[in-house]
Structure 1
Amino acid sequence: MTETMGVAIGIGVLALVFIYLGCLMWKKEKITLLHSYHYDKVSPSDKKGFCKISGWGVIFIGIGLLVTAIIIGITDSVLSFIAFALGFVVGLVLLIYAGAKYNR
């Protein structure tokens, strides 16, 4: 196995962890996966919406990592960073939006 494939597999495993955690936040409403200051002012009635948006934010970061791992595994291209950056930015925007909307 080449060093590049090892990196791709490592990034892929990390991506699956992010996707799994995002699904737990979204579907199971596991709000405690975030640090308490991210949700301490979220009302019980807003918990579902907050968890949905936050979960999708984490899932998008995981998807960006997964696409990056696939691109690295296939092409060994530095352009895979674009997939990571895009997924990270979209995920971060969703996490910030959820915090700004519900954690006031």
Structure 2
Amino acid sequence: MIMRIMGEGQFQVADEHLNRLNQLDDELLTALESGDEAAFRSSLGSLLSAIREVGSPLPDDSLEPSELILPDEGASLDQVRELLRSEGDGLIPGLPE
């Protein structure tokens, strides 16, 4: 799966990492729902760090379509809420059962 972090670039992430990313996404959703800015910043940073850790960066000149677009670390609570409205249940989709 190709994920784009806004303003940063694209990462190829193997499906085997989606469960971990979903857990971090759930923590982000909890922080958003509570409106806790500190927890939101921490959970967004953790999610993006995990994507950078498990993903392989694509070259800047790559024209691959992104399957997911994620906010950058400077995104506000409202900006991420808006992304979630357009994406559905969280930023990272679950694996089909």
Instruction: Give the TM bin, normalised by the shorter chain.
Output: 0.3 to 0.5
Give 1 or 2 for the bigger CA radius of gyration. Answer: 1
User: Which protein is richer in helix relative to its size?
Assistant: 1
Taking structure 1 as the reference length, the TM-score comes to 0.34
The one of the two structures with greater contact order (alpha-carbon pairs below 8 A, sep at least 6) is 2
